[in-house]
Amino acid sequence: MSLKAIVYVRNPPSLEILNQLLLPHETVYESITTVQQGYEQINQMKVRGAPAIGIVAALSLVIDLQLKLQTFINNPNALDSETLNILNSPLLLATFVRNSLDRLNQSRPTAVNLFRTSDILWDVTNSGIKKNFDSKQIIESLADTAEQMMLNDLKDNNNIGKYGADFILKNSDKKICVVTHCNTGSLATSGYGTALGIIRHLHAQENLLHAYYTETRPYNQGSRLTSYELLHDKIPSTLICDSMVSALLSSHAFNSSSNKVGHKITAIIVGADRVAKNGDTANKIGTYQLAITARYHNVMFIVASPSTSIDLNIQNGRDIVIEERNEDEVVFIGGLLKQDGIEKNQIKKVRVSPEGVKVWNPSFDVTPAELITAIVTEKGVVEKEEGMKEFDLEKFLLG
Ligand SMILES: CSC[C@@H](O)[C@@H](O)C(=O)COP(=O)(O)O
């Protein structure tokens, strides 16, 4: 069984998130009971990955309301007047939902899944008001919607895995060797994963020879999280530094007879945080340079993206907001205090750069559509039309 980043139970209501800052050293689940805690978990990247962020945002609103409702039923005297008003008045509940969604929307700016989730939950709330639902009925509709999002994400990832594996096999005459970046697996989604889902599928079919994955500085989603998932699933794999991909493609593509490993890389497969209408794709910092080296070495560059990460409101990548994170993530490297015999579950930071350095720490970059061979979604694979440099994702999704 693969690791679950999100554990949600409807009755009695409970939501737990695997703290990914502590992986791979400690497996610690932290409980979320309020919207504010959900905001913090996402903002601090204890939970991360575009689909997982959207799902946790939805569930943290749902759990906050479900716990309020539970107290309302069991012990109404324990509630303050503001909460009582929310539970007695659907219109005040709607105000609470709007404020909560606005707060959650501020947690991270790049992945579109968060904003899409907010729009859906807001529509559900308004539709409940129009149907004259009471607060309890609206909360139940919100819970149904969030649960459905989680189930859909898992189903979508399985389809992405299948479509992606078929596409790669169709375009290769050998067993497959891939490179991936960041973490796009069970930990970044409600299960299975997107780019990692394709790798899982290739492995399950016995068509995968080897998966290489980058460490993905500065947060090390590759060396900490992808390694964890690949080792767990016993998928043949090798960790490389971010700076080694061109060397890997070059030695394997052009000099495989003299290379010790000797596998030609078939494809680089990555996930997506937001794909614009033309196919420009925002993903973890470093993705763009992988696409450039893939083009130079004539290797397929594949984006695995559920349609929930495609933003048809954005024409191209220039309009995607790129999150910039704290310089500490670059100048410090994390470890666990436990190793110093101090305390469990505490991250120790070791400074690797001198005090006073200037740091630029964008969390994502945008890969132009021109460099992308195909975008794999749960609805199938999109390629560019003959002679075009961009994708027509509106046509693909809406027909
Ligand atoms: C299926 S996850 C797709 C993307 O969200 C993933 O590639 C990525 O960039 C994650 O970034 P992160 O900063 O770890 O949230």
Q: Residue range 2-11: average pLDDT?
A: 90
pLDDT of residue 393: 98
Q: Residue range 77-89: average pLDDT?
A: 96
Q: Is residue 198 predicted with pLDDT exceeding 80? A: yes
Confidence tier at 174 by pLDDT (50, 70, 90):
confident
Give the fold, CATH level 3, of 162-323+362-398. Rossmann fold (3.40.50)
- Lining residues, ligand 1, CB within 6 Å: 48-51, 111, 182, 184, 188-189, 194, 221, 271-273, 283-284, 363
Q: In what order do the strands lie in the sheet with 380-382?
A: 237-240, 208-214, 176-180, 267-270, 300-304, 374-377, 380-382
**Mutation to probe ligand 1, out of 190, 221, 229, 377 (largest number of atoms < 8 A from CB):** 221
Active-site positions read: 273
Tens digits of residue pLDDT in 217-259: 999 999 999 999 999 999 999 999 999 999 999 986 544 454 4
Q: Which atom of ligand 1 is nearest to the CA of 195?
A: 1
Mean pLDDT (the chain) is: 93
Confidence tier at 261 by pLDDT (50, 70, 90):
low
Tens digits of residue pLDDT in 302-348: 999 999 999 999 999 999 999 999 998 899 887 654 444 445 556 77
Q: Is residue 368 predicted with pLDDT exceeding 50? A: yes
Domains of the chain by residue range = 6-154, 162-323+362-398
Chain centre to alpha carbon of residue 61: 19
Q: Which CATH superfamily is domain 6-154 in?
A: translation initiation factor eif-2b, domain 1 (1.20.120.420)
Q: What is the pTM (predicted TM-score) of this model?
A: 0.94
% the chain with pLDDT above 90: 88
DSSP letter string, 196-260:
HHHHHHHHHTT-EEEEEEE--TTTTIIIIIIHHHHHHTT--EEEE-GGGHHHHHHHHHH-TTTSS
Tell me the C-alpha distance between 68 and 8, whole Å.
16
Q: Residue range 168-172: average pLDDT?
A: 96
Maximal CA-CA distance, the chain = 76
pLDDT of residue 173: 78
